[in-house]
Structure 1
Amino acid sequence: MINPTIAAWNIRGFSTSNKVFSCKNLVKSLCLDMIGILENRIHHTSIADPFFLNSHRVFDYEDSCNNFHCSNLGRIWLKWSTDRLDFKPTFISSQMIAGMVIYGNNDPFLLSVIYASNNQDERKTLWNEIRNNSPAVGIPWILMGDFNCCRYPSDKLGGNVLQQNQLYDFNSLIFYANLYDLASVGITYTWYNQRSVMPIHIKLDRMLVNEAWMSVFPRSHYVIKPPSGSDHSPVVLLPGDKFDSQHRFLFKNFWLKSDIFLYLLLSTLPVKPRGQPFAALYSLLKQLKLDIKSKSWACSNSVVSHMESLHRKQEACLSLLNQDCLNESISLNIKNINVQLAEASNQWYSWVSQRAKIKWLAKGEDDLKFLYSRIHLRRNYRRTAISPAMANSNCSFSEAVRDTISHFQRIYNPPRRLTFNILHFPVGNVIPHEYILSLTTPFTDAEIKKAVFSGASNSTPGPDGFNFEFFKSTWIVTGVMVCKAVKSFYHNAYIPNAAKATAITLIPKTNHAEAITDFRPISLCNTTYKIIAKLLAARMKNVMPLIIKGNQSGFIHKRISTDNVILANEILFHYRSIVNSI
């Protein structure tokens, strides 16, 4: 679903013509559907004047809602375009206006526009109002505006350092209300004290959402625009791109416990593989993937449907058992249903935990709601990758994708050097003769198996979709073909394109991205490629200490990059001690 475009802006007075012009310009430039104007400083008697209302109109077809009756000067004035959406207020106080937004054919969602007080005690009243007006489970909820407080010490730059007791109340509200920071792009801080001496920058304005929002609007995010005529920056909710990427095939680990899948694998396995070993292996994987996709049980939704069907059968049997509690056949049916329900629940839990990639799940954590939130949060932050490139409203989605690819191509694909002098290459160490044999010996089946079984079962696979768990659990069937393929690489020094293909994805370095440079690309390699890389790394592990110099501290096991910094500091300290003693 696509959410409407909504902004919240602490304009610091909406009575002057330049402030009205700034709001109109923001609405027009971003095609806003709704805007919350905060700290507008308008007296409640002014809105009774038709000329005043007409001169402060920002939409052609406008309706509005305010809380002017709750304070002497206006604090929140909500305006929306009636030809695009409808807003039904459900709660109004001096610090918040909340209501249901109806947008097109989408399900309604709860919107809470916040302008928190500067007083900490008054903000506690607001936190209680937010808790009391939280929606029912399953209703999307978004809170936006000026919260007048921060979540983290890093949200403030300059001035006194934020203490934990100043952050406690706000973070407690977020925790108990099950809220999350929506992914954001643009500038980092939303308020500036406008001083050249001792400047202070703080992030006071933000957007928070619940888990239902991330489920319904997974591509939504907000942008923090530069301030124009105010010391606060406007925060603008955007729907994200409208292009749905094609889902990659991903092997589900719970399939391995199904007899149907094992039968499918054995029927796909050729009696006598033909051709080059790597080609034969990938021919098997390709055919197996096609066969799996054609089966109805391969979809994760089938597990959910099966669980719902079992729950209905369980309720029906329990109803019959209440009428005839001594009926053995009904009791036996309930027992069988419970066994099937436990098995289906384990399958679904396995799939969700595989997608969430939380390592401490092995210790017994089974909070599926938490796992869903982890999946939705990770997707929400990653899907903002193209947004910094689309900061210019004239830039289309395809142009933004092209610009993003060009950016990383310039970084990772520098122009080739036409000439290269081998004499400029630094002289290294010579590998001792006794290590040469260990590097050049052909790979054994035991080495290959060890490399496979040392891989993480839930590691993200490459384009082929098969992870380490697939090869581990089917080793008795696929092991021979994998060993032959890896050995063929040793003898021929060749990997087919299908095996070495990678899927590149962008990972945000932080939760707030200001530019495309705040993302880093990673390559998702196929498992067979990872197996060969593990074998080569294991061979070179004993040789690397002879090649790497002792002063290199970064990216080395049991060394950290700060070692050299500490060493340099100690040398300078020792040098100063000697100089002072002289």
Structure 2
Amino acid sequence: MANSKKKVVKLLKAWNWNCFGNLTTQVEEAEAAVKQTKLNIQMGLPNEQNLILANANLLQAIHWEKEYYKQKAFIKKFIDVDRNTKFYHACIKQRRHSNTILKIKNHNGICVQGTDLIHRDGIDHFQNLLSEPHEATLLNFVPSLLNDKFFDIQCLDLTFILTEEEIWKALCCFDGDKVVGADGFNSTFYIITWEVIKFYVVEAVQAFFRGEDMPHYFAQSTITLIPKGGQKSNWDHFRPISLTTVLSKLISKLLVF
């Protein structure tokens, strides 16, 4: 399944470019066609049908461009007056600005600048942070709840082979607007193409609950940083999060479903 998904990603990228191409250029060309058609009408040329067609092409190009920037901006809700390209551009610029680290202080309080130095210092900081030993503690632990009967029931539940319906219900609980994981697919892709890929998804999930070894690809993740607040002057102001694949999230959700 992992190899199939990689092939799909490659084919989708080629299909996307062949079908849609550069959306901004298409909008500009469609606007120029409308202006030229209007100019021809003003000069007395009978181009009413051409004008209708040019306007339809322009509206279609604008629609595609809006959908593109909506996905780039990762915005879930809009009102009609906000559906314009400038708004999407502003959202993307703001997101890029907030996600860019131009300089930062290391653990010695020295200001680090430059992409390579910041990159190296960030890796060193979080590698040291995540490798530090931590003592695990249980808060509000009630020993009486963990008896032999409880363990037997829990172990039995974990060995049940899930049905296609249960897997589908868990998949539908995901937010399709969430940022994609390392494989480039979000839950919306799985839901839309469910009738095509459900056999492979169900087989992969059931294989996990049968205790079979899962490919390393399923556990693949991308670690990124998000600001804890408004300040971003040192690494303590950032929190690392892991962007995992939908299959990994699906299995985790089914364990507690």
Smaller-chain TM-score bracket? 0.7 to 0.9
Structure 1: distance between partners of 2:170 and 2:53? 40
CA contact (8 A) 2:105 2:235 kept: yes
Structure 2: distance between partners of 1:450 and 1:367? 35
Structure 2: distance between partners of 1:309 and 1:387? 43
Aligned partner of 1:353 in structure 2 is 70
Establish whether residue 332 from structure 1 lines up as the match of residue 49 from structure 2.
yes
Structure 1: distance between partners of 2:62 and 2:212? 45
Structure-2 change in CA distance of 1:460 and 1:396 (3 Å): closer
Superposed CA deviations along residues 177-198 of structure 1, whole A, max 9, x for unmatched, are xxxxxxxxxxxxxxxxxxxxxx
For the aligned residues, what is the CA RMSD? 3.1
CA contact (8 A) 2:226 2:239 kept: yes
- What fraction of aligned residue pairs are identical, expressed as a percent? 26
Query: Residue 23 of structure 2 aligns to which amino acid in structure 1?
Result: V
Q: Which runs of 5+ in 1 are unaligned?
A: 1-280, 539-582
Aligned partner of 1:492 in structure 2 is 211
TM-score by length of 2: 0.81
CA contact (8 A) 1:500 1:525 kept: yes
Question: Per chain length, whose mean CA-contact separation is higher, i.e. which structure has more relative contact order (CA < 8 Å, sep 6+)?
Answer: 2
Give the secondary-structure state (helix, strand or coil) at the position aligned to 1:387.
Answer: strand
Aligned partner of 1:410 in structure 2 is 128
1:343 is aligned, of 39, 52, 60, to 60
Structure 2: distance between partners of 1:428 and 1:305? 67
CA contact (8 A) 1:385 1:516 kept: no
- Structure 1 residue 385: deviation in Å? 7.1
2:36 is aligned, of 289, 306, 316, to 316
1:377 is aligned, of 94, 98, 120, to 94
Q: Which moved more, 1:285-294 or 1:496-505?
A: 285-294
Superposed CA deviations along residues 206-230 of structure 1, whole A, max 9, x for unmatched, are xxxxxxxxxxxxxxxxxxxxxxxxx
CA contact (8 A) 2:106 2:235 kept: yes
TM-score by length of 1: 0.39
Alignment of 1:196-235 (within 5 A): none
CA contact (8 A) 2:69 2:85 kept: yes
Superposed CA deviations along residues 147-194 of structure 1, whole A, max 9, x for unmatched, are xxxxxxxxxxxxxxxxxxxxxxxxxxxxxxxxxxxxxxxxxxxxxxxx
Aligned partner of 2:119 in structure 1 is 401
Structure-2 change in CA distance of 1:305 and 1:296 (3 Å): farther
CA contact (8 A) 2:27 2:62 kept: yes
CA contact (8 A) 1:386 1:516 kept: no
Structure with larger Rg: 1
Give the secondary-structure state (helix, strand or coil) at the position aligned to 2:68.
Answer: helix
Query: Residue 489 of structure 1 aligns to which amino acid in structure 2?
Result: F
- Structure 1 residue 286: deviation in Å? 0.7
Superposed CA deviations along residues 432-487 of structure 1, whole A, max 9, x for unmatched, are 86666544321111122222222222211111111112112222222222222222
Instruction: Kindly indicate which of the two structures has a greater share of residues assigned to strand.
Output: 1
Q: Which runs of 5+ in 2 are unaligned?
A: none
Aligned partner of 1:59 in structure 2 is none
Establish whether residue 510 from structure 1 lines up as the match of residue 241 from structure 2.
no
Alignment of 1:19-168 (within 5 A): none
Instruction: Kindly indicate which of the two structures has a greater share of residues assigned to helix.
Output: 2
Give the secondary-structure state (helix, strand or coil) at the position aligned to 1:484.
Answer: helix
- Structure 1 residue 502: deviation in Å? 1.0
Count of residues in Structure 1 that have an aligned counterpart in Structure 2: 248
CA contact (8 A) 2:66 2:84 kept: no
